[in-house]
Amino acid sequence: MSNKSLVALIAIVVVAVVGFNSFYIVSQTERAVLLQFGRIVQPDVQPGLHMKIPYVNQVRKFDARLLTLDSSSSRFLTLEKKALMVDAYAKWRVQDAERFYTATSGMKQIADERLARRLEASLRDQFGKRTLHESVSGERDALMADVTASLNRAAQTELGIEVVDVRVKAIDLPREVNRSVFDRMSSEREREAREHRAKGKELAEGIRADADRQRRVLLAEAYRQAEELRGDGDAQAAAIYSQAYGQDQEFYAFYRSLRAYRESFADKRDVLVLDPSSDFFRYLEQSKP
């Protein structure tokens, strides 16, 4: 290959490299700034195809989509000085590319660190203004709105980013408090259980006493009715016996003697020693020829 051909080839390569480095593309999901020897000359490059001076201009691109800051769990004090462990996250995106680059050098890690400190300060301030009940349930939505607004103002001024939303993932008591709270809740439940058991025993004793009283009343009433029926039966039997005896006294005496004989000699092994002239054998004596 001749020297001219070599020079022409080198020139083509140089032109191709220069031409390739003279164009750059900014997508719809990106924000970009154009630098010239490290100084910003175009703070907000719009999406599309653009030109630059190779090796003189540099392009720094940033993700313009919605990003998430997941902060670590932190300890905060409420208005009544009760400690809470709060785990929160924030949604943010680049709003001012020039300020974002100036404050963070375009690095998301630096932006997350600074935003995390601001988020912690905002949460500490808002939890310190509210009680435990308000922080957990009563004014939780208002708390998140206030944190988002205050964090957004600071982030726009200092970092050039917009904080879209702040949410709390979990609110817990510190570990050293959990045990005491659990013990207090357990003792409270034990006290309530003892009260319920005492009330149950009291009601049970009342029910048993009432049942025993009703049982005694029923038994007494049944005994009274039985005695009345037995008395009526005995009276009727006596009246019948008296009426029968009055109709034929001799026959009645004879009938009673037969019953006495039957009952006295019911068993063949029975032995009865009496005087033969006893009144017991009166009818037997009369039956002799």
Model pLDDT for residues 68-93, shown as the tens digit of each residue: 998 888 888 888 888 888 889 999 99
The interaxial angle of helices 249-264 and 175-247, nearest 10 deg, is 130
Phi then psi dihedrals of residue 51, to 5 deg: -115, 155
Residue 126: the pLDDT is: 87
Q: What angle do CA 91, 98, 19 make, to 5 degrees?
A: 115
Residue, of 200 and 244, whose pLDDT is higher: 200
Residues 6+ apart with CB under 8 A from 104: 110, 111, 114, 159
Which residue among 11, 35, 62 closes a domain? Answer: 62
Least confident window among 103-107, 137-141, 201-205, 209-213: 137-141
Cα separation of 93 and 107, whole Å?
Answer: 13
Please give the DSSP secondary-structure letter assigned to residue 2: -
Do residues 154 and 56 both lie within one domain?
Answer: no
Nearest CA to 75 out of 127, 115, 112, 118 is that of 127
pTM of this structure: 0.55
* Whether residue 287 has pLDDT greater than 60: no
Read out DSSP for 105-150? TT-HHHHHHHHHHHHHHHHHHHHHTS-HHIIIIITHHHHHHHHHHH
Do residues 160 and 110 both lie within one domain?
Answer: yes
Do residues 124 and 54 both lie within one domain?
Answer: no
Residue 248: the pLDDT is: 67
Q: What is the mean pLDDT of residues 92-112?
A: 89
Q: Record the tokens describing residue 226, joined without a space.
A: 């039985």
Please give the tally of structural domains in the chain. Answer: 3
Q: What are the strands, taking DSSP E only, across the chain?
A: 23-26, 30-36, 39-45, 48-51, 57-63, 67-70, 74-77, 83-94, 161-172
Cα separation of 127 and 119, whole Å?
Answer: 12
Do residues 125 and 22 both lie within one domain?
Answer: no
Q: How far is CA 237 from CA 15, 228, 276, in A?
A: 146, 14, 33
Which residue among 130, 159, 179 closes a domain? Answer: 179
Cα separation of 223 and 230, whole Å?
Answer: 10
**Domain contains 166:** yes
Mean pLDDT of the chain: 81
**Percent with pLDDT over 90 in the chain:** 12
Enclosing H/E stretch for 17: helix 3-21
Do residues 74 and 30 both lie within one domain?
Answer: no
Do residues 107 and 170 both lie within one domain?
Answer: yes
Do residues 173 and 71 both lie within one domain?
Answer: yes
CATH value at residue 121: 3.30.479.30
Do residues 168 and 94 both lie within one domain?
Answer: yes
Cα separation of 18 and 24, whole Å?
Answer: 12
**Domain contains 113:** yes
Do residues 55 and 71 both lie within one domain?
Answer: no
Residues 147 and 71: beta-carbon distance below 8 Å? no
* Whether residue 256 has pLDDT greater than 70: yes
Residue 3: the pLDDT is: 66
**Domain contains 270:** yes
**Domain contains 215:** no
Do residues 74 and 164 both lie within one domain?
Answer: yes
Model pLDDT for residues 203-215, shown as the tens digit of each residue: 999 899 999 999 9
Which residue among 150, 179, 208 closes a domain? Answer: 179
Residue, of 21 and 70, whose pLDDT is higher: 70
Enclosing domain of residue 90: 67-179
260-269 long-range CB contacts below 8 Å, 24 or more apart? none
**Domain contains 184:** no
**Domain contains 124:** yes
**Domain contains 206:** no
Q: What is the mean pLDDT of residues 24-49?
A: 85
Q: Record the tokens describing residue 207, joined without a space.
A: 């029910």
Do residues 103 and 21 both lie within one domain?
Answer: no
Do residues 41 and 86 both lie within one domain?
Answer: no
* Whether residue 157 has pLDDT greater than 80: yes
**Domain contains 114:** yes
Residue 176: the pLDDT is: 65
